[in-house]
Amino acid sequence: MLAVEGLTKSFGGFTAVAEVDLVVDPGAIHAVIGPNGAGKTTLFNLVTGVLAPSAGRLTFEGQDVTGWRADRITARGVARTFQNIRLFREMTAVENVMVGAHCRTSGGFLAAVARWPWRPSRAERATVRRAEALLELVGLAAKRDVAADELTLVEQRRLEIARALATEPRLLLLDEPAAGMTPTEIQDANRLIMKIRDRGVTVLLTEHHMSLVMQVSDRITVLNYGRKIAEGSPETVRRDAEVLAAYLGADA
């Protein structure tokens, strides 16, 4: 589904991502791990068009998307969440999800001026129903009309996932989806990620909670100082001496 070839991003004399190769298979949950500063979020920013690569190539479903703008990549079928939550905090939960659906809604000037001002259009009603269904999926149906800034940290992370899913992605990037969660909440996040994959969405995630990574991932890529140092199944990565020493600890 996604092929990353020789991807590099430099900021002046500092190289954040260096010649990374990565292949994400359709229907997989693929994790990217590494310590702070390893280049994980920069890699996500490159894949989603937030940053343009200094070198290398990105291919999504066989199409070269290198250097595409973020909105164009989203419309193509790639969505993401952020390590630092970026919600419209004064909007309600359902409104946040509806904003995410913008790139999949139809309409125009004539449709806008022809509708009755007090009566939502058919497209608007469909968008609301879709947003409500996604809130149900992530366990926030009861918080439909609650402002985003009144939600807990865990609820806000779930709302970001619902908003990303509203773009109808085929590939979803999750940046630290379990950050700040308790062990019980991490298990809930685990089940939600599996549920999303079971709905036909391929998942690429980065996460520091190794218990979650090892449970949900089909394949893991390990970065260190912007370079790929290991890749394989959870069991392969778990046994890799360099990975054990650098990330998981000798007793992992």
Could you tell me the residue ranges of all domains in the chain?
1-77+169-252, 87-167
CB atoms within 10 A of CB 90: 10
Give the per-residue pLDDT at 42. 96
Q: What DSSP letter does each residue of 50-64 carry, written as one string?
A: SS--SEEEEEETTEE
**How large is the C-alpha radius of gyration of the chain?**
19
Give the per-residue pLDDT at 242. 84
Contact between 216 and 194 (Cβ < 8 Å): yes
Alpha carbon distance 182, 197 (integer Å): 23
Angle (CA) 33-229-47 rounded to 5° is 55
Contact between 19 and 8 (Cβ < 8 Å): yes
Residue 149's alpha-carbon distances to 81, 92, 146, 153, in angstroms, are: 17, 9, 8, 9
> Which residue has 């600890």 as its token pair?
249
Give the per-residue pLDDT at 118. 54
What is the separation of C-alpha 87 from the centre of its chain, rounded to a whole number of angstroms? 14
Give the per-residue pLDDT at 151. 96
| Strand-pair category, 63-64 with 55-60 | antiparallel
User: What fold does the segment set 1-77+169-252 form as a domain?
Assistant: Rossmann fold (3.40.50)
- pLDDT tens, position by position, for the chain (252 residues)? 999 999 999 998 999 999 999 999 999 999 999 988 899 999 999 999 999 999 999 999 999 999 999 999 999 999 999 988 889 999 999 999 999 887 666 554 444 444 445 566 677 888 899 999 999 999 999 999 999 999 999 999 999 999 999 999 999 999 999 988 999 999 999 999 999 999 999 999 999 898 899 999 999 999 988 999 999 999 999 888 888 777 655 444
Alpha carbon distance 174, 161 (integer Å): 8
For residues 108, 113, 116 and 122, what is the CA-based torsion angle, rounded to 10 degrees?
A: -10
Q: What DSSP letter does each residue of 71-83 carry, written as one string?
A: HHHHHHTEEE--S
